[in-house]
Amino acid sequence: MKKLMYLLLGLSTVIICTVTQAQTQQELIADGNKGGNTDNVLTYGMGYHQQRFSPLKQITKANIKKLVPVWSHSLNNNVGEQAQPMVYNGVMYVSNVQQTVAIDIKTGRQIWATPIDWEKEAARIVCCGLSNRGVAIYDGKVFVASLDSYIKALDAKTGKQLWRTKVAEWKDGYSITSAPTVANGVLMTGMTGGEYGVRGFVAGYDPQTGKELWRRFTTVAPGEKGSETWPNDNSYLHGGGSTWITGSYDPELDLTFWGTGNGGPWNNTWRPGDNLYVASVIAIRPKTGELVWHYQWTPAETYDFDGVNENILADMTIFGQKRKALLHADRNGFMYVLDRTNGKLIAGHAYVPVNWAKPTIDPSFGRVEETDIAARLRAGEKVELQPRWTGGKNWSPMAYNPNKQKVYLPMQEETAIYQLNNQAAPNYKPGERYMGATNSTKERDPKLPWGYFGALDPVSVKADWRIPQVEFPIWSGTLVTGGGIVFTGKISGEFVAIDENTGKVLWEFQTGSAINAQPITYTLGGRQYVTVLSGLATGTSLRRETAGKVQPGAAVWTFAVMKD
């Protein structure tokens, strides 16, 4: 009997060990939801819904002053940190453009580091800084993409490369800066290149082999549904619609939601029409790439208003009805609330000053209505355009508290000086800029804020509170917790904790370089931790704003409340 018990115990140990070495689809679905293991962070956005909310509440307003760093790990990178770490079974997985690193959470010590080899010449076709926003983890593998448009799988235990697949040709203007994702057993990636005349797409791969399963283009070819929104020529082949922020996923609907970028060239004069599915959200089946519905944020996009910002999935009570909603704060200055089952508009309001369109969208009409500013721009005049092409909010993700139905986000209020070249069509050359417009930034009054960081009702965009962004705009992601704390970061290097109810800054810690990344929270041994990456990014706007003021650097910072 004892021998049989030992055999059973041994078998049990083997089974447990096998499970802890591999992530399953059910674990990914549970991540960030009730019943999920708070020791882990397995998906981009801390849940397929990308709410960036955690119910953890050990860190509170009462003890936030005792939040201290417990370890910091250097990443040896001077071109910026924008990634969200992933956490599984006591190991943190972090990436930047140089390498993927596995770190022991308990000690902060490196377990392995694998270089992300890429052709250095590819840096010239990355428009807005050399960045990598993270990895995906699934079935014992870590998936990461490179700037020269490859995706590869690493063994999660050793960092050894298992396979490597070419997604696109970088010499044609393609690159990848986003984190991959796995939904319904399919590995998916987006791409960049909206300034280089690429044809946008989302692609699905077999996570075991790297074999491509499908490719969903985001510009419509002649003869396809929606082709009437493009000229009857080959402009769709260079029409933009890049997909450079990771999509969200609803397992119940089996739909994944991806935002698409600006049109190519920027100047819509040379590609007349609404240009589906540029500057839109598309809902697609992860198994097949089938497009189920779409909604276009900016029809006939000509402003560089990429529509790639995160699509938050939330079950909300709106106007007395329970709705399966999708929340999106677009670069064009509008906050959208859609029904995610069918893509119909529920509400749409400007959340920052907007002059190119009327500030409220009529749901019965379903799309923005342009103003005389837009008409003058399209006619070739030089205009002052609000918001600037960097947006009312750029890619830095907002957070959503489902208990309060509020979003927390940075809001920028810069103005562009913008003019289209309607006299001569831009000449497409692979790997070269393809824009047809000139743009600059209106000089701002230094006494006025860049914008605000605030708490909004996403349906009405009414603000609970707003914090002026005085020295620099905020380009960090946001996290909100059950302890009533909102975490974000500053370009000047401070990691910040804010009272969710009042907007009062409760705590700051200087990390030594700018924070442009996305904080996470999780538990280890029953103790709550918060982690964020620090490191000045190299995008054009950040270089302009920080020259001579903020030094580059790269580190993972992990915090916890000091033990008594």
Say whether 304 is catalytic: yes
Cα separation, 444 vs 450, in Å, equals: 8
Cα separation, 108 vs 206, in Å, equals: 32
DSSP-derived letter for residue 398 is: P
Cα separation, 553 vs 551, in Å, equals: 7
Closest CA to 146 of 128, 119, 124: 119
Cα separation, 27 vs 325, in Å, equals: 23
Longest dimension (CA), the chain: 90
483, 503 Cβ separation under 8 angstroms: no
Give the other-Cβ count within 10 Å of 486's Cβ.
Answer: 25
Write down the residue that tokens 């990895």 correspond to.
Answer: 135
SS3 152: strand
Cα separation, 172 vs 192, in Å, equals: 11
Residues facing residue 297 across a β-bridge:
none
DSSP 41-99: B-STTSSTT---EE---SS-TTTGGGEEEEEEEE---SS---PBPEEETTEEEEE-SSE
Give the other-Cβ count within 10 Å of 460's Cβ.
Answer: 11
Given the residues 304, 315, 372, 445, select the one marked as catalytic. 304
395: alpha, beta or left? (left if phi > 0; alpha if psi -120 to 50): alpha
Question: Residues 133, 433, 247, CA angle at the centre, nearest 5°?
Answer: 30
* Residues classed as catalytic: 304
